[in-house]
Amino acid sequence: MGTKIWISASDGKENIIQDLVRSKKIPRAVALYLAARGIGTAEADAYFYDEFSDLSDPYRFPGMDVAVKRLWQAIRNRERILIHGDYDTDGITATSLLSWVLEKNGAVISSFLPHRFDDGYGFTPESLSKALESVSSPCKVLVTVDCGINSNPAVEDAASRGIDVIITDHHEPGDIPSPALSILNPKVYPELSDMYQLSGVGVAFKLAHAFVKFGRENNLGGYATEMQEVLDFVALGTVADIVPLLGENRILVKYGMETLRKQLRPGIRALIEVSHVDSSISPADITFKLAPRINAAGRLGNANTALQLLNASNIVDAYKYADMLETFNQRRQAKEQEIFSEAKHQVESLSTFDTSMTITAAGEGWHQGVIGIVASRFARDYNRPAIVLTIQGDEAHGSGRSIGGVNLIKILSKCSHLLTRYGGHPMAVGLGLAKDKIEEFQREFEQHVREEISPSDIYDSVAYDGTVELSEIGDDFFALYPKLGPFGHGNPQPSFRLNRMEIVRTFPIKSGHTKGIMRDPNGDTSDFIAFNMVIDPKIVWDVVAVPHINEYYGEKRRQLQILDAKPSGS
């Protein structure tokens, strides 16, 4: 408590804040929140009042017209369409979404999800052969979702078999363009920079939207397909993939949460029930409860269990698959804790641990399905880029997670001479290397991270939107609060610094936490709660807190959830 660096995200933006307050007639606390996210007067109305219809035209994607024409041609000719997905929540929801829309419009569809251990990641010649063996009739069109942008050998193999390939992906493209019939990846096209943060399911949604639009405009079909009905898939996959909830993603998740709460699909309803999530589902529920259960299928079992859940047509089957996911998730939690404990002991035992800016852990036979979660815990707990490797024979396979300011793809590209493979996002990567290269990789990984950031960047910090008084987070602030969400990665809940707060009284609460009433220098008071912090009532405090309305037995009261606190003047 009080050891973190406090960072105001609205510093230096006073002119923007004043313009927002004056021209938009909004409370200063809301203006601080917007300015902290780079939103000025020009963007404010769109932020507050965005509609589903404000989504960008899917035909901005070069090659979109080629893709949808080929899909409608396949439907007309009764050609089988194969969807090749991925084994995480983003890839599974993208597969479900696209198959649902295409089947609803008469397509003959088969779906294939690679097995994490048997097939490895992505669209490969091996996964292509396996996918084709699983279908009952020849396939003429193959659509990748959440993979494929760097799968040129597989695309060429498919073409040699007379299969047209449509790539939908959001991962970083390599230097050699894909020879696919159509490439739908915003990162390939500079003119689509506003959509670079789309998830895999977000790109699949764009294809589905264009497909339905083309069908209606050309009297081919699509009339009974409402795109808002698939937004539950988009919300699940987008939030799970930890892409920023701003711009297009924010609209998709905003309306996707509405669809998700309706629980229209048996599989969604069963998943929500086994996850013990109430009807007011939030993005945090996806992050911490729903997505881990969907991911658990691919991590420990077969991702097809999660796909079968989302595609279930009746509640009996849905509960069966949901129970299977629950079992997988419990096993995943046990494996994760076991490996994390072992890896933590390993890295903290190193003499260089306190001065290192990175974490690299490696263990024989660590479960490949959970090392990514272990890397995430290291990155979160120690605020350092982390790589966790499992050693299997002479090879090591790993996952990495980053912190703000460190692009792991860029770092790994500098270490590529040591790697047999790597790929992913700036914040999350997968990689492979020979066992005897681990120590050399560890040194180079540390060296290249040090070239990007300074030691002060790995100090633990807490960001807030600006400094306010209690009177500035009153009824007028909370009247606009619902319009600020959905909250999640890139769009966190409003948080503010409040100075010289006195503790009026405290109430009994579980040991290690503090709950009570605070008062600011103007005499205004508010309830507060501080988890994992013991706040001495004899001291005057500066705090960083998230304000919200706490409802208890029908009474609504403002409450500050304290993120960090330090004695005033310290």
pLDDT in tens, 457-515: 878 889 999 999 999 999 999 999 999 999 998 899 999 999 999 999 998 888 889 99
pLDDT confidence bin for 546, thresholds 50/70/90: very high
Residue of 258, 260, 272 whose CA lies nearest to 319: 272
- Does the pLDDT value for residue 1 go beyond 70? no
Q: Is residue 392 part of a domain?
A: yes
Q: Is residue 177 part of a domain?
A: yes
Are both 212 and 95 inside the same structural domain?
A: yes
- Does the pLDDT value for residue 326 go beyond 90? yes
Q: How far apart are CA 369 and CA 357, in angstroms?
A: 25
Residue of 187, 197, 238 whose CA lies nearest to 62: 187
* 89 touches 291 (CB < 8 A): yes
Tens-place pLDDT, residues 195-235? 999 999 999 999 999 999 999 999 999 999 999 999 999 99
Are both 523 and 400 inside the same structural domain?
A: no
Task: Compute the average pLDDT of residues 374-387.
Answer: 94
Task: Compute the average pLDDT of residues 50-73.
Answer: 96
Task: Compute the average pLDDT of residues 532-555.
Answer: 90
Tokens for 567, please give them: 């004695």
pLDDT value for 552: 77
Tens-place pLDDT, residues 394-438? 999 999 999 887 999 999 999 999 999 998 878 889 999 999 999
Query: How long, in residues, is the chain?
Result: 570
3-state secondary structure of 87: coil
Residue 393's CATH number: 3.10.310.30
Q: Is residue 39 part of a domain?
A: no
Residue 474's CATH number: 2.40.50.460
Are both 203 and 96 inside the same structural domain?
A: yes
pLDDT value for 40: 94
pLDDT value for 315: 97
Are both 469 and 454 inside the same structural domain?
A: no
Task: Compute the average pLDDT of residues 104-119.
Answer: 91
DSSP class of 493: P
Q: Which domain holds residue 209?
A: 61-228
Are both 360 and 397 inside the same structural domain?
A: yes
Q: How far apart are CA 426 and CA 410, in angstroms?
A: 7
pLDDT confidence bin for 188, thresholds 50/70/90: very high
How many domains does the chain contain in total?
A: 3
Are both 374 and 487 inside the same structural domain?
A: no
pLDDT value for 2: 58
Contacts of 198 (CB under 8 A, 6+ apart): 170, 186, 206, 243, 248, 249
pLDDT value for 567: 95
pLDDT confidence bin for 456, thresholds 50/70/90: confident
* 435 touches 397 (CB < 8 A): no
Q: Which of 212, 228, 244 is the last residue of a domain?
A: 228
Establish how many alpha carbons lie within 13 A of residue 115's alpha carbon, considering only the half-sphere containing its beta carbon: 9
In this prediction the pTM is: 0.91
- Does the pLDDT value for residue 155 go beyond 70? yes
pLDDT value for 432: 94
Torsion of CA 295, 301, 302, 305, to 10 degrees: -70
pLDDT confidence bin for 137, thresholds 50/70/90: confident
The percent of residues in the chain predicted with pLDDT above 70, rounded, is 99
Are both 488 and 523 inside the same structural domain?
A: yes
pLDDT value for 427: 85
pLDDT confidence bin for 16, thresholds 50/70/90: very high
Q: Is residue 146 part of a domain?
A: yes
**Mean pLDDT over each residue of the chain, to the nearest integer:** 94
Q: Is residue 550 part of a domain?
A: yes
pLDDT confidence bin for 554, thresholds 50/70/90: confident
Are both 470 and 454 inside the same structural domain?
A: no
Are both 475 and 386 inside the same structural domain?
A: no
